[in-house]
Structure 1
Amino acid sequence: MSPQTTSRRRGRPTAPVLSRERITRAAIKIVRARDYRHLTMASLARELGVSTSALYNHVSSKRDLLVMIQDSLNGEIDCSSFGAKPWHEALRDWAVSYRLCFIRHTALIPVMAVLPVADSPRTLQMYERVARALDDAGIPGDQAVDVIVGIEALVFGAAYDASAPQNIFDPGGRADIAPVFARAAAQRPAGSRAAADRAFELALDALVDGLRRRFG
């Protein structure tokens, strides 16, 4: 074997430079640092240190990329309580885990909240576990989907609220306009996250208790 051939083989990568997992991590990194509007195929290629054409060998479109992100994030959500606990307790555990996931990825909520679930296996598996538990509880299919949508509406809003500034309800110099509200807001616990957690727990308990009374 010639020295030239040996040199070529030694320098050849032993594994592909790109993988779907690496691409997904890089895409999430861009969104967390710069907002989802800055996530383009060109910016992602720069982040990965490859050409845009090389990236297209692994991702067919921007939508494909978003589905990869959706699948990755929803795979982090804990669904283990379904089948192990009563449906209403499992629903609560799921909502808590769901919110924690999107507190870490708040910048992606505007996209993930409205992205179709087609071609996202982990997302479909998650919904299947929830829907199966609700079906076993005798909740009609269309209303089961309404339950899922209602929980998600609370989760996404509450995830946003966790990053709200501590003084979001401070009336400034206009407490005279809303004196009762200003006094009530001043009584909330210090720290926006603590207040946000308490508000979420209150709303989640009310929602789940209401669903339990409605469906038995």
Structure 2
Amino acid sequence: MGSAAGAPTHARRRAGRPPQAVLSSARITKAALKLVSADGYKGLTMAALAKSLNVAPSALYNHVRSKQDVLLLVEDHLMGRVDVTAFGVEPWAEAVKIWAHSYRNVFAAHLPLIPVIALLPVTNAPATITMYEAVTKGFLAAGWPSDSIIDAVVALESFIYGSAYDVNAPADIFDAGSLAPQAPHFAAAVTQRSNPGGQSDANAAFTLGLSAMIAGLLATSTRVSDTE
């Protein structure tokens, strides 16, 4: 039926889906990271995430079933940025250093997520699994026994996560203030702290600790190749 004379005509919206999806995993991940950066982990709720994406919660649930799914996206995004390219190319110790420095730097920029990611299963997180596979292959290539690799990786990760916090520590974190006379040795050690090559305190501590961990791991794994 035609329109009444003089009445405006409106083009009917075409049926079917819009030409581009309103949401994507990348958009959800980016928005989730932004929320955590602004309000901490507690600020990451499904309602807040939907609002930040300017969609109804129901639209968000069409892409992710729960907050756990969102966290898996975030975990995978961050782990995908960790550099594992040195494994299989550089000697084991050097590859571990490059991986550990990259790992620390990624999470130093996302501190609120450390307590969550550190306890989040890696199930169905492809970039995370890819990262761990590269690290495991690097350990195996260096002669590590398979039954010791995961314990070594967990030990390194514990140090890495703690060091990520240290990157963000205030410069005066060890200032004893008016209690310095009661702890003269500690206060003197803090004052005399010196880091070669102009490194920051956090980088110097990380370099020292990582070198000690690598040396200790090498000493406890007798099957690691002597050439590494």
Calculate the TM-score normalised by the size of structure 2: 0.87
Write the letter of the residue equivalent to 2:186. F
Q: Which residue of 1 aligns with 2:90?
A: 85
Whether the aligned pair in 1 keeps the contact of 2:88 and 2:141 (CA below 8 Å) is: no
Offset of residue 105 of structure 1? 1.0
Between the aligned partners of 2:46 and 2:193, the Cα distance in structure 1 is: 44
Higher helix share: 1
Between the aligned partners of 1:125 and 1:57, the Cα distance in structure 2 is: 26
Equivalent of 2:21 in 16, 23, 30: 16
Matches within 5 A, 1:6-155: 8-9=13-14, 13-155=18-160
Whether the aligned pair in 1 keeps the contact of 2:86 and 2:98 (CA below 8 Å) is: yes
Equivalent of 1:175 in 168, 177, 180: 180
Between the aligned partners of 1:211 and 1:189, the Cα distance in structure 2 is: 27
Q: Which residue of 2 aligns with 1:196?
A: 202
Larger radius of gyration, structure 1 or 2? Answer: 2
Matches within 5 A, 1:157-168: 157-168=162-173
For the residue of structure 1 that corresponds to 2:11, the secondary structure is helix
Write the letter of the residue equivalent to 1:115. L
For the residue of structure 1 that corresponds to 2:202, the secondary structure is helix
Offset of residue 5 of structure 1? 2.9
For the residue of structure 2 that corresponds to 1:175, the secondary structure is helix
Q: Report how many aligned residue pairs link the two structures.
A: 210
Between the aligned partners of 1:112 and 1:189, the Cα distance in structure 2 is: 33
Offset of residue 189 of structure 1? 5.3
Between the aligned partners of 1:151 and 1:114, the Cα distance in structure 2 is: 15
Q: Deviations over 1:132-185 (max 9, x none)?
A: 111222212231001100110111000001111111100110012211111111
Between the aligned partners of 2:124 and 2:143, the Cα distance in structure 1 is: 28
For the residue of structure 1 that corresponds to 2:200, the secondary structure is helix
Write the letter of the residue equivalent to 1:164. A
Between the aligned partners of 1:129 and 1:50, the Cα distance in structure 2 is: 38
For the residue of structure 2 that corresponds to 1:14, the secondary structure is coil
For the residue of structure 2 that corresponds to 1:5, the secondary structure is coil
For the residue of structure 2 that corresponds to 1:4, the secondary structure is coil
What are the ranges of 5 or more consecutive residues in structure 2 without an aligned counterpart?
4-8
Write the letter of the residue equivalent to 1:121. P
Matched, 1:205 2:211: yes
